[in-house]
C-alpha cells in the first residue's frame, strides 16, 4: 500500500480483504501517511470491486470503487479486461487463501498483470457446531438455509445433515451466487434458488419465489 507507483490499481473480491487493509492502516503513522498522500495517489488508479458490500468498505477507506454491479469474479474479470490494457502495470489483488482462480486466469489470458497477495485465512469457527445445534433445538426446523460461500458449505453441511436427518429434503437451500451454488451442487445439495446479484433484496426475492413454487406444487 505504501507504493502505489508500482501498481496500476487494486482489485477486491471480498469484504475480508478490506478488513485486512483497515488493520494495516490502524497504526497512527500509517494512518497519517494514508490520509496525507497515499489515499490520493491510489485514487488516481481504479479500485475494482465485485459487489456492493465490498464497494461500501472501499469507500470507507476513501477510495472510489468501480465494477460493483459485477456480482461475481467472472463478470468482474470481464469488466476489468474491458478497461485495462495488456502489459500495463500490475493490479494489486489482496485476497484470501481459498480464492478461486477464475479472475487471475482470465486476466492472465488477456495479458493483464495481477499480483495476488494472501491477506486472510478462512477457518471454521470454534463454536460452529454448538451454534447450529443450539439453533435447531431452540428455533426448530428451518424452512430455508442460505449459504454465502463455498467454505460455508464445507464447514456447515455435515452438521446440518446430522441435525436435520430425513427432514433435510424439506429445506429450501439458497445460494448467494453462482460460485456458492456450484459448491452446493458438488456436495449433493439441491439448490432451490441463486440470488440474481449478491444483495439482501435479490436473495430474499429468490427465497420467496422458491417457496411460492413449492406452495403451488402442494396446492395442485
Cell readout for 112 is 493483464
Q: What is the pLDDT of residue 101?
A: 87
- Cα dist from 86 to 10, 43, 213, whole Å: 16, 21, 47
- Cα dist from 11 to 64, 102, 104, 123, 157, whole Å: 12, 13, 11, 23, 30
Question: Among candidates 207, 188, 210, 198, which has minimal Cα distance to 74?
Answer: 198
Q: What is the pLDDT of residue 217?
A: 55
pLDDT above 70 (res 219)? no
Q: What is the pLDDT of residue 27?
A: 76
Which one is predicted more confidently, 38 or 220?
38
Strand 65-66, strand 191-194: pairing: unpaired
Strand 114-120, strand 47-49: pairing: unpaired
pLDDT above 80 (res 220)? no
Q: What is the pLDDT of residue 214?
A: 67
**Residue ranges in 4-124 assigned as alpha helix (H):** 15-24, 28-33, 39-42, 52-60, 73-83, 102-109
Does the CA dihedral 132-138-162-166 come out positive or negative? negative
Burial 47-78 (b: 16+ CB within 10 A, else e): bbbbbbebbebbeebebebbbbebbbbbbbbe
Interval 12-31 mean pLDDT: 89
Q: What is the pLDDT of residue 211?
A: 85
Four-CA torsion 27, 29, 30, 33, nearest 10 degrees: 150
What is the rounded distance in angstroms from the CA atom of residue 158 to the CA atom of residue 63? Answer: 40
Percent of the chain having pLDDT more than 70? 97
Interval 143-159 mean pLDDT: 94
Q: What is the pLDDT of residue 48?
A: 98
pLDDT digits (tens, 9 = 90+) for 115-137: 999 999 988 999 999 999 999 99
pLDDT above 60 (res 1)? yes
Interval 97-114 mean pLDDT: 92
Interval 4-8 mean pLDDT: 97
H or E stretch at 136: helix 128-139
Q: What is the pLDDT of residue 18?
A: 95
Residue 193 per-residue DSSP state: E
Residue with cell 458490500: 53
Q: What is the pLDDT of residue 11?
A: 98
Which one is predicted more confidently, 199 or 68?
68
Amino acid at each position: 500500500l505504501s507504493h502505489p507507483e508500482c501498481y496500476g490499481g487494486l482489485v477486491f473480491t471480498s469484504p475480508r480483504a478490506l478488513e485486512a487493509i483497515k488493520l494495516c492502516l490502524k497504526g497512527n503513522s500509517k494512518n497519517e501517511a494514508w490520509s496525507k498522500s497515499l489515499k490520493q495517489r491510489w485514487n488516481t488508479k481504479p479500485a475494482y470491486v465485485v459487489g456492493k458490500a465490498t464497494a461500501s468498505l472501499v469507500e470507507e477507506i476513501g477510495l472510489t470503487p468501480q465494477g460493483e454491479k459485477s456480482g461475481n469474479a467472472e463478470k468482474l474479470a470481464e469488466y476489468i479486461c474491458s478497461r485495462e490494457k495488456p502489459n500495463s502495470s500490475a493490479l494489486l489483488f489482496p485476497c484470501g487463501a481459498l480464492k478461486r482462480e477464475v479472475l487471475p486466469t482470465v486476466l492472465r489470458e488477456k495479458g493483464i498483470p495481477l499480483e495476488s497477495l494472501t491477506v486472510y485465512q478462512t477457518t471454521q469457527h470454534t463454536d460452529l457446531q454448538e451454534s447450529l445445534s443450539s439453533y435447531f433445538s431452540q428455533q426448530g426446523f428451518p424452512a430455508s438455509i442460505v449459504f454465502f460461500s463455498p467454505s460455508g458449505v464445507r464447514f456447515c453441511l455435515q452438521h446440518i445433515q446430522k441435525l436435520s436427518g430425513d427432514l433435510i429434503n424439506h429445506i429450501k437451500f439458497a445460494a448467494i451466487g453462482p460460485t456458492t451454488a456450484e459448491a452446493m451442487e458438488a456436495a449433493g445439495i439441491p439448490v432451490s434458488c441463486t440470488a440474481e446479484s449478491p444483495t439482501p433484496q435479490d436473495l430474499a426475492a429468490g427465497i420467496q419465489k422458491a417457496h411460492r413454487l413449492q406452495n403451488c406444487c402442494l396446492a395442485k
